[in-house]
Amino acid sequence: MKIFRFLKGHVLNLFIALALLCAQANCELTLPGLMSDIVDVGISQGGIESVVPNEIRADDLAKLELFLTEDEAAQVEAAYSEGTGEEVRAFTGDDATRRELENFLGEAEMVVYQLEQGIPLETWAAGETAETIELLRQSVGDTVDLDELLEMGQAFYAAESGESLVLEPGSLAVLRSSFADALGSMGDSLAESRAIAYVRSVYERAGVDLNQVQTDYLFGQGATMLAFALFSALCAILAAFNASKTSAAIARDLRHDLYERVLDFSPAEMNRFSAASLITRATNDIQQIQMVLVMCMRIVLFAPCMGIGSLVRVLSNPVGLEPILVAAVAVIAVAIGVLMGVTMPKFRIMQKLVDRNNLVAREIITGIMPIRAFGRESFEQDRYDQANRELTRTYIFTNRCMSVLMPVMLIVMNASTVAIVWFGGLGVDAGTIMVGDLMAYINYVMQVIMSFMIITMISVMLPRADVAAERVQEVLATCSSIEDPAPGARVSREGEEGWRGVVAYNDVTFTYPDADVPTLEHVSFTAEPGKTTAIIGSTGCGKSSLVQLLPRLYDVTQGSITLDGVDIRKIGLEELRRQIGYVPQKRMLFSGTIESNIKYGDPAMPDEDMFRAAQIAQATEFIDAKPDGYQSPIAQGGSNVSGGQNQRLSIARALAMRPRVLVFDDSFSALDYKTDATLRAELAERAGDAAVIIVAQRIATIMHAEEIIVLDDGHVVGKGTHEELLRSCPAYLEIAKSQLSAAELGLDEPTQADAAADAVAREGGER
């Protein structure tokens, strides 16, 4: 899945998580086995773990050796201390020796135990005549025990040979084999249970405290379980810490990379994604990724460890109930596959609807004033409700689909439990399954099913997180159409002679991405330091597009723009933009103070540069009137200052950097005529070494410029001074006459009709 590609730089943390989770799973999988031992050994067997007794009287051991082969008896003798008669002999071998003795000693103990309990005479004398059985009953009774068996054997041997029978180890080994064969398929479990019962009687005769044996075993196993549980908890804590830290670091890096990439975007890429979508991707989508990565490193990795470990333990100790587990896993897998196939497309739609919801909400919030002015509250409310209802319907559909999974999982889990208890109970009743083993088996099967349940719960979020990862990756994989020149091909003059600020547009043609018609065609002019170049034209003629090409917000389609004769595409973007003080048409101040906004280009600049920029921009009057002066707060977007104050602070921000080129994109529109004239005079006097390019709608703002460029539908239709254009450019004359009277323009006295038309046009222009 796409979300896991973000773990590429955190492989070590992933391995640490996997190691911790494997250790935790191993500890938790050990607990059912210990519980089984407590039930089967600690309770059922009284704490006696092995059929090889730790202590046994010498005469009891001698009886056992009668049913062993000579080699087996020799191994037993070597494993115990010396002793005779009723002396207690202690086991002196190691664990490996104990395991070897368990293979055959348990059968001998089973035979001796059965004989000590007594064998029904009919069973013992099967095949004999009724008279013989009756004679034997008169001699030994209804049952035959071990002592009576030995006496009958010695009497028979003495009657046949006239000598007394000497019993040695291995004398009755054949009898042990016949007993084992008679038990059939249930031999192992029955032999072990009877052998343990015999060991209990052996301990009693040897003077061992059986209560203490059981207590010691239960306390030992309980302490072991507690140790495993504590270590499991420690691993869980460390795994959770590692997962949280790693996912937080990934989210932090993603936000950093995404914002860094967005800051490199040109307006073309910004228009492609939209601000609302980028905000959603930087917040909601990355939050989804972070949350799912935490769960993946903590739960999704843990579930397979538990599931696989449980399967290994179930299959390594089969009890005949494995088909129940296979059926449960198959049902769960089918349910997950079907639901994922249904919901995945809806999750993709959901993220687009979130974008749409945010877009509508953002438009309503930012456009609240015109909405109220035109009384469109009800319309906008209905529009948001429609977007919200579409998103809600999709949420409800996916949640309803995913809600089916939990009942399915619970039904499968409970049905599996009932089936295991039912069939396992039959096995316990038949003696083929021990109670502790059945309890452990139920635990392991539940852990397998719980692993699938965990994955199922995560699968609710995985599809949406995968879509979120795809959306974030789409932004990260998008390169800006404005490329910084390679270091080897880059031209720099900052550290040497410096830039003068001569800007030349050379036959520039520009077409917006995905547009069919050029916005600008064959534009050429030069702006020199110490001179003002003005650009004017009707709305939509391409004035703002023309100046946006200079700081490379867009790149020219044809032709070139040069700075001091160097194509701006060969100058580093940071260096180029440091030479240009650009005041955009759309005013934008940042939350902070007046000082932080003026010093935005260089927070370390001297206060003298800030004061100078504010004085040129005619901003000192209202700044000094504020109680906190330059420390006065500015709200986001400059919403707590007027339009004219906002505009003057934006101009001061550009002037504070002392750029070589000043670009004002309709930046005097909110200023009154007096402030406009004073500001332009200050510019000419105190920033006269910079090339000034002014985009304006008002003739009064640009009429004193050294050169005026007149644009009409992307073409230059006039170029010259104010006076020259009045005589040679009808388009400029029309604009001028719509704003100023003939007398103000220095034209001949107009007719009465012309005067009336000029008055109406002038009134409309002032408005």
Q: What are phi and psi of 360, to 5 degrees?
A: -65, -45
pLDDT value of position 162: 53
Q: What are phi and psi of 380, to 5 degrees?
A: -65, -35
* Residue appearing with tokens 């701006």: 568
Beta-bridge partner residues of 566? 563
Q: Cα 283 from chain centroid?
A: 13
- Residue numbers in the chain where pLDDT is lower than 70: 1, 118-171, 174-175, 178-190, 317-318, 351, 430-432, 456-457, 459-460, 496, 748-767
For the chain, residues classed under CATH 1.20.1560.10 are 2-32+219-476
Q: For the domain 586-658, what is the CATH code?
A: 3.40.50.300
Rounded to whole angstroms, how far apart are CA atoms 597 and 633? 10
What is the separation, in whole angstroms, between the first and last Cα of the chain? 59
Residues 6+ apart with CB under 8 A from 453: 406, 409, 413
Q: Which two tokens stand for residue 667?
A: 């930046």
3-state DSSP helix/strand/coil % of the chain, to nearest 5: 65, 10, 25
Q: Cα 561 from chain centroid?
A: 46
* Residue appearing with tokens 């809806």: 346
Rounded to whole angstroms, how far apart are CA atoms 395 and 401? 10
Q: Residue 136 CB: number of other CB atoms within 10 A? A: 18
pLDDT value of position 17: 92
CB 155 within 8 A of CB 140: no
* Residue appearing with tokens 């002392």: 658
CB 436 within 8 A of CB 49: no
Q: For the domain 2-32+219-476, what is the CATH code?
A: 1.20.1560.10
Beta-bridge partner residues of 509? 558
**Could you tell me how many residues make up the chain?**
767
Q: Which two tokens stand for residue 290?
A: 């972070």
Q: Which CATH architecture has domain 487-579+659-766?
A: 3-Layer(aba) Sandwich (3.40)
pLDDT value of position 123: 56
pLDDT value of position 160: 54
pLDDT value of position 363: 82
Q: Which two tokens stand for residue 720?
A: 């010259």
Q: What are phi and psi of 555, to 5 degrees?
A: -105, 145
pLDDT value of position 378: 87
Q: Say which amino acid occupies 537.
A: G
Helix (H) or strand (E) holding 367: none
DSSP state of 615: H
**How far is residue 753 from each of residues 157, 442, 740, 756, 758, measured CA to CA in Å?**
157, 103, 16, 5, 8
CB 487 within 8 A of CB 539: no
Q: How many CA atoms lie within 13 A of 223 on its CB side?
A: 6
DSSP state of 185: G
Residue 674, exposed/middle/buried by CB under 10 A (0-12, 13-18, 19+)? exposed
Q: What are phi and psi of 128, to 5 degrees?
A: -85, 165
For the chain, residues classed under CATH 3.40.50.300 are 487-579+659-766, 586-658
Confirm whether pTM is higher than 0.85: no
Q: Say which amino acid occupies 133.
A: I
